[in-house]
Structure formats: C-alpha cells, structure tokens
Structure 1
Amino acid sequence: MNADALRPVVLAAAAHAGASGDNAHLIRLGHNAIYRLRKAVIARIARVDRLAVARKEIEVARWLTGVGLPVVRPIEDIDQPIVVRGHAVTFWHELPPHNYASRVELATVLRELHTLPAPGFDLPKLDPFEGLARLIDSASSTAGGEQDFLRSHLAQLQAQYTALPAGLPQCVVHGDAWPGNIARTHDGSLLVLDLEQIAVGPPEWDLLHTAISHATVGIVPEREYQDFCRKYGLDVTDWQGYPVLRDIRELRLALFAAQIAADDPRQQQQATHRLACLRGDLGPRPWSGWTAVP
C-alpha cells in the first residue's frame, strides 16, 4: 500500500463518518494503514477486498468486550466498516499511553483467550496459508529462482499441515500473538489489539511467535522463554507438530518482509536475509539478523 494513494481514502471515509480527516496523520503502514484523526480517533485502512475481515474485527471487539476481555474499542456511533475505493475503513478509540506487554503478560492473555467459549457468531477457521501463494506470485522483491523455491516450500508445508499430530483442543485464537499486539496501559491493564486474524484453530499457533523468537532468531533469552511457558502451561516446542507450524510461521514472516519491501525498498535487505535463512544459506537455527519491519 502506498501512503500517498491512501490519503484520499482516509479523507473520504472520515467525511462519510461525519469526522474530519484534515489532520490525518499516518502512524504505521504495514498489513493495514493506521491513521490518527482528530479527537483521539484512529482510522484503520485494510488492503483492498478485506471487507469481511474488517467486519469481523468490529464484531470480535464487541464480543470480547462483552465477555470481559479488555480490547481495543471501535467507535460505536459510526456505521462501519466504510468502503472507499475497495478499502474497508474502520474507526477506533485511540489507546491511552501504553507499552508492549511482556512475554509473561502475553501468556496470561492467551491463556484467558483460549479458554473462552465460542462466540454467538461464526468465526473463520484458521488458515495459516492464507494469501501466501498470492504473495509469492506478486513478490517483486524476489527473483524467479526464489519464487520457485518458495512455491515448492509452500506445497510441502501444505501437505505436512494436513497430517499434523494431535495437539490441544481447537479454540478461539488471536492469530498474530506477539507482545506488540497486547498493550499494557499505565494503570497495568492489558488490552488486546489487532483482531484481523482472530479465528478458530490450534492454540499452539498463538505460542509460535515467542517460540520462534527464542529458538529461531534468538532474541528471547532462555529464562524469559521458560517464564512464558510456565505462565501459559505448555512449551509448544515439545509438541511433535511444532516444526511444521514453525516452518509455516517463518515462511509468513519472510513473505511479509518481501511484501513490505515492495512498497519500501529500505526493507529489501531484511526481506532478502529472511529468504536466505529459509533456503538454508545461513546454516541451522538460530538465525541472527532478523529485524523488525514496519
């Protein structure tokens, strides 16, 4: 997504919602574009053709609020999502001052989320491969040989996923569970953010980010990882299905970097590095040099 092209989208959506977008300020450009408007309102612009996902985010936020799990709150007096040029736009209350949650706090929230009864509306089934084939085909930052490798790797993982060994019972999962998606406010409250990938699936999926941060890229120390496992009650790396889910998650992270690099050439080095790790060019895990992309 291009920030300049999205500005007319946020202006039109704000006008339709009865708000002013004149001072709209881009906060972050990633899977979604996040803008701050006046009066502590946040506008979230999805990629094209993501209307169903945007609707789900609003519904999930209301459900989680109703069952007592603190969560980012949509603006209630706006009929949303609003669609402008194919982009679904949603409006949210800006968070109070906050920091990322700790890994132990993340485990606390995940344990609570995973024990919730199913909501009174249908949630999609987790699809860990959603959009990956499209990303491989459209990744302008990858050469043809890399695309051949990625297609083959994806097909292998899809076959392995169908034969996963039994794990924990399926439940509501966040889908992108990392500390940046849990906000710790100054009064100690923990708020769940980024509801785009909420689904029903294996709870082990939500434990992957921390496990990979520890075992794949080595940025989470052993003690911190063990504290996370004790708080949640499980070390996902002990499960026989872990290597398959790990490889899927690593592929997603590599393709996300490639997607961002297509819009921001400054991220090309990181995208290339991640792909090199997947190909085995840099030896066995842990792989150093993985840095955050916006």
Structure 2
Amino acid sequence: MSGDRAAPLRAVLLRACAAASLPAAGAAVIRIGENALWRLPGRVVARIGRPGQTAAAREPAVARWLDDCGVPAVRPLVAVPGPVEVDGRPVTFWHELPPHRAGTAAELAPLLRRLHGLPTPDLALGRLDPFVRLAARIDGAATLGAEQRRRLHGRLAELEAAWAGLPAGRPTAVLHGDAWGGNLAVTATTAYLLDFERTSTGPPEWDLASTAVAHGTFGTVTDREYAAFCAAYGADVTDWPGYPVLRDVRELRVTCYALQLAAADPARHRAQAHYRLACLRGEHGPRPWAWTAIS
C-alpha cells in the first residue's frame, strides 16, 4: 500500500468519522482501489467512494432492501443511514463481516437467481448504463496516441448501437451490476452479496455475462466451474443471441479500466492494458486471452 495514496484518504476518513460520531483511532486500510475500505474500531468498515459518486447514496438502501427480502447482504450501520460527504467523496459505514473468502462462480449463481426473481423495489435504482464513464476513460488514456483513442471511440459507438438493437431476452430485473466472486463474501455459514454501486434494473444477462467473460475471455473460470455456474443459475447466457454484444461491451469496459490505471501508473499497468487492447484488435488469436486481473 502506497502511503501517498492512503494519506489523503485517511484525512477524508477522519473527517467523515467525526461527522458521523464514530471512533477512528487505529483505523487500518483494508483495500484501496476505485473505492477505499478502512477497518474502524467496533467491527465497522468505512467505504470511501470516488469524488462525485452519486450511486453511494442508494447503496445502503439496496442492502437494507435485500435484507428485508431474505437475500444475505452486507449490512449498513443503522446509526448512519446515508453517506457522509467529505470533499465531494461519499463515505458509507458498514458492519464488518466475519472472516470470509471470495465466492466461487457456483456460489454466486444461486444468489443472482434469487436477486433476479425479486420484484422491483420502490428505490431510485435507475436503468443499467453499460457505457458509463467509458468515453472519459478513453479520453484520459494517456498511454495511447490520438489515433488509438479515435479507434476506441469508434468501437464504443459501434457497441452503443449494437446494445440498442439487442434481441429480446429474460424479463427486466434488478441487477447487481458487478457480479463476480470478489463481490460475494463467503463465511463459514453464509454467502453475502456486497458492493451495490452499480445496482440497477436491466437485462439479467448482464450479470450472467460477467462469469461467462471470466470463462471465455480471461480464462480464470474453468470449463467445470462455468458448467456448475450455469447449472446453479439454470441458464447459460452464451446460448442467448445477444451474448456477443454483452461480451464485447464487458471486454471494452475492462480494457478501458486497465487504460485508466495505466495512465496513473504506467510502470505497473501499461503492459496489461496494451495487451488487452491488442487482443481486441485481433492480434493474439481467439479467446481466451488469459488477461491478468489488475487493481
């Protein structure tokens, strides 16, 4: 963990804790990525979002709704019902889970099936936007030349048009929005959903495509694990005619995320980001491409 990254976030944390009347002595970093997680006294976790992240306002409400529906989810602190804003950053507070590990594909599938079967709540979830922040990430891709950025913008426009023409699929449902094993915490007794930043309504296939891409593009989910995922959910999204569009959008998303990280830290992330881009251009043969996870 870089002290340079943690220091300004610690200042935000201290101010948020003071505003929420929560102790912060001995606060320790759990993880710093797009969001920053800190462990506080009393088995409390603080989650610091990106500046201007409006979705944080609904995350505690989504978690409470899931709990009311009997779907295990990380619990927000009752004493702090909404985010505390510090310098434009939303800070939310959650009960710390017992010791846990990331979930497997087969463990994630039943919770997604339950989630997709729930009635839409009276919450301002909004409609899924699979292209959110992509144009900005392309514009900010400092390791690319102008022509490479132009081509990525062209690819983005192609996929936006393809998304608008998706064939009919499963009924619209509440989506997790970022459904992968890292957003499932498995304890000795229970598997809990977490991270509801991208929860919205839309095609359930979007949630399923995340694991399908991990299998078919990243190669991090084995054939056996993917078969278990499909069996546990009751469907294989790759059988749907619209899947290639969802796959291509997800591949572009994770490539643009890598390019964003490469712009901030070229030494660590440029090679992987540009490898992904070369794969999308067809320079490394057919999938899977064995992309390496980055954060």
- Both structures adopt the same fold (TM-score exceeding 0.5): yes
Deviations 1:62-96 (A, max 9, x none): 11111111100111112531110010110111111
Q: TM-score, normalised by structure 1?
A: 0.94
Question: Match for residue 154 of structure 1?
Answer: 156
Matched, 1:292 2:293: yes
Distance 1:9 1:74 in 2: 19
Distance 2:16 2:143 in 1: 31
Secondary structure at 1:127's aligned position in 2?
Answer: coil
Q: Which runs of 5+ in 1 are unaligned?
A: none
User: How do 1:165-184 residues align onto structure 2 when only pairs under 5 Å count?
Assistant: 165-184=167-186
Structure 1 residue 211: deviation in Å?
A: 0.7
Q: Which runs of 5+ in 2 are unaligned?
A: none
User: How do 1:21-36 residues align onto structure 2 when only pairs under 5 Å count?
Assistant: 21-36=24-39
Structure 1 residue 267: deviation in Å?
A: 2.2
Secondary structure at 1:47's aligned position in 2?
Answer: coil
Aligned-pair identity in percent equals 51
**RMSD between aligned alpha carbons?**
1.5
The aligned amino acid for 1:246 is R
Question: Match for residue 84 of structure 1?
Answer: 86
Matched, 1:194 2:195: yes
Question: Match for residue 12 of structure 1?
Answer: 15
Distance 2:17 2:85 in 1: 11
Q: TM-score, normalised by structure 2?
A: 0.94
Question: Match for residue 217 of structure 2?
Answer: 216
Question: Match for residue 6 of structure 2?
Answer: 3
The aligned amino acid for 1:254 is T
Distance 2:10 2:137 in 1: 24
The aligned amino acid for 1:206 is D
Question: Match for residue 40 of structure 1?
Answer: 43
Question: Match for residue 132 of structure 1?
Answer: 134
Distance 2:73 2:107 in 1: 14
Distance 1:27 1:208 in 2: 28
* 2:105/2:211 contact within 8 Å kept: yes
Structure 1 residues 167, 79: closer, same or farther in 2, change over 3 A? closer
* 1:30/1:260 contact within 8 Å kept: no
Structure 1 residue 138: deviation in Å?
A: 1.5
